[in-house]
Amino acid sequence: MFNISLFVAEIEEQLKLWRREFHKFPEASWTEYRTACEVVKNLETMGYEVLWGPSVVSAEARMGLPPQEILEQSWQRALKQGADPKIINTMQGGFTGVLGLFKTCRPGPTVALRFELDALEIAESDAESHYPFREKFSSLNPGIMHACGHDGHLAIGLGVAKILIKLKEHLAGTIKLIFQPAEEGVRGAQSMVEAGVLDDVDYFISGHIGLGVNNIGEIVCGSEGFLDTSKYDVEYIGSSAHAGHNPENGKNALLAAATAIINLHAISRHGQGSSRVNVGTLNSGNGRNLIPSWAKYTLETRGETEEINKYMVEKAKRIIQGAAEMYDVSFNIRKMGSAHGAVSNDQLISLVAKTLDDISDVKKVHLKKQFTASEDVTNMMRLVQDKGGLATYLLFGSEITGGHHQGNFDFDEKVLPIATRVLLETILRIVRLPERGE
C-alpha cells in the first residue's frame, strides 16, 4: 500500500522551485529551448525514456514559426542561460517538443497527459505588489513572461512524473507525458499529433490553472464549449509614391488593410452558434508623406462549431481579397494556427469525479464547465476520441492576480500540489494493478 498524499507532501517545496525556475526563464512559442532542456534533464534523471526534437514534432505541421533569426537568437540565449548543448542541438530550428515515456512492461491502457512549455510575449510587471517580482523570481527575459500559468503546469507535470516512477511495480500499461511547444496562438499541438505521439493513446488528460475557477480546492472534471479557431497573418503589397507630388502613382496598401479590417468586423454573426472575429495588430507604411506600400495585420476567427468557424474564414477571405482588388494591391495570407472545437467524454469525467471523492484538499467539484475560448489541446483530444479513446480537460481552481495574459498575472502556488495529486490519483484509477485481497 502507498499514500499519494504523503508522496505529494514530500515534493511540495520542489513543485514551487520548479515553477519559479521556469518562471524566471520564460521562452515564447517555438523557442522554448532552455525550458524543454530542463524537462528532458529532469525526466532522464527520474528514469524515463525521453524523446525530443524532430522525433516528436512534425516539421511540416508547425504553424506560426518565428523568423530564423529569432529562432537562432533564442537558441543562443538558452545556451547562455545554462541549457545543455547536447540536448538542444537537436531542437534547433524550433523542434522543442518533449515526450516522457513510462512503460510498465505489463499489458494495459496507454494514458497521456499534456503540459505546455511556452510563455507569452508580454513584459512582466515590476510593481512591488507583483509576487514574482517581490520574491525575486520574475522574468529575466525582457518582454517575455509566463502570464498564463504554463510554468505551474510544467511543475505539475514534473511532480506527476517524479511520483509515478516510484509506483512502477503497482501499475500496468504505458504513460506518456507530453510537453508541448507553442500552445499560445494554437500553433504547436498539431505538430505532435502528426508526429504520431498520440496514435496509441486510450486515455488523454490535460488541464489548466484558473480560467474562471477561482478558489483553491475547486476542480472542474471536464470542459466543453471550446471554440474552433483559425489564425492568419495578412499582408498587402502596393507601391509607394510621394503623397503630395504624385499620389496617383501609388497603390495604398494601408487603405486596403483598413477597408478589410472594418468589413471583417462587420461579418454577420452565425445564427446556429457563437462566432467571433478579431484583428489584433496593424502595421503599415514608412512615413507621413509617402503612400503606404505595405500593410500587415493579424487576424483570428472563432466558431462554436467547425462549420461556423469555416463560415467565418470563408467570409474573411472574400473580404481580404475584395479589399485588395479595390485598391489594386496584391496580398498574402499565412495560416498561423488552428484548433478544433471539442468536448470532454462523460465516462472520463465520471471517473475523475469519483477520484476526487477521496482527496481531502478538493473542496468543490464541478462536472463540467463551458470553456468559451480556444485551446489547441483540442487537436489532441479529437485524435484520441476519433480513434476510440477518451479525453478530458480539467480546470484547477486558484485565485488569479491580474488576469490571464496580463503583465501582473500570478496564481496561488497552493494549487500545485492539489493538481499534482488530482492527476496522479486519476491515472492510478486507470492503470493501477489490484492489490492482493482487493
Q: Is the pLDDT of residue 251 over 70?
A: yes
The domain that holds 415 is classified in CATH as: 3.40.630.10
Read off the CATH number of the domain in which 290 is found: 3.30.70.360
* Per-residue pLDDT tens over the stretch 1-45: 689 999 999 999 999 999 999 999 999 999 999 999 999 999 999
Q: Which of 399, 396, 419, 394 is nearest to 411 (CA)?
A: 399
Same domain, 117 and 165: yes
When pLDDT is cut at 50, 70 and 90, the band that residue 66 belongs to is very high
Confidence (pLDDT) at 2: 81
Q: Examine the domain organization and report whether 15 and 118 are in the same domain.
A: yes
Mean pLDDT is lowest, of 104-108, 357-361, 382-386, 433-437, for: 433-437
Instruction: Give the tens place of pLDDT for each residue, 265-281.
Output: 999 999 999 999 999 99
Helices 253-264 and 306-326 cross at an angle (nearest 10°) of: 150
Convert 275-338 into a string of H (helix), E (strand) and C (coil). Answer: EEEEEEEEEECCCCCECCCEEEEEEEEEECCHHHHHHHHHHHHHHHHHHHHHCCCEEEEEEEEE
For residues 370-391, give the mean pLDDT: 96
| Domain interval for residue 291 | 228-339
436 assigned to some structural domain: no
Residue-level pLDDT at 238:
98
**Cβ-based burial of 302 (10 A; exposed 0-12, middle 13-18, buried ≥19):** buried
DSSP sequence for 384-405: HHHTT-EEEEEEE---EES-TT
Sort strands 330-339 and 390-396 into parallel, antiparallel or unpaired: unpaired
62 CB neighbour count, 10 Å cutoff: 23
Q: How confident is the model at residue 372 (pLDDT cuts 50, 70, 90)?
A: confident
Grid cell digits, residue 218: 475547486
Residue 356 sits at φ, ψ, to 5 deg, of -65, -25
Task: Tell me the pLDDT band of 436, cut-offs 50, 70 and 90.
Answer: low
Whether 164 maps to a domain, the answer reads: yes
- Answer whether residue 91 shows pLDDT above 80: yes
Domain boundary among 275, 309, 339: 339
For a pLDDT cut of 70, what percent of the chain falls above it?
A: 99
Write the pLDDT tens digit of every residue in 134-155.
999 999 999 999 999 999 999 9
- Looking at 285, 320, 339, the residue that finishes a domain is 339
Number of domains forming the structure of the chain: 2
In this prediction the pTM is 0.94
Asked if 338 and 230 count as a contact pair (C-beta separation under 8 A), the reply is: yes
Residue 49, SS3 per DSSP? strand
pLDDT at 437 over 80: no
Residue 318 has pLDDT above 90, yes or no: yes
Which of 315, 339, 363 is the last residue in one of the domains? 339
**Same domain, yes or no: 348 and 258:** no
Helix (H) or strand (E) holding 350: helix 346-356
Measuring CA to CA, how many Å separate 180 from each of 37, 56, 230, 327, 360?
Answer: 13, 10, 19, 42, 31
Residues 218 and 310 in one domain: no
Residue 255 C-alpha from the chain's centroid = 34
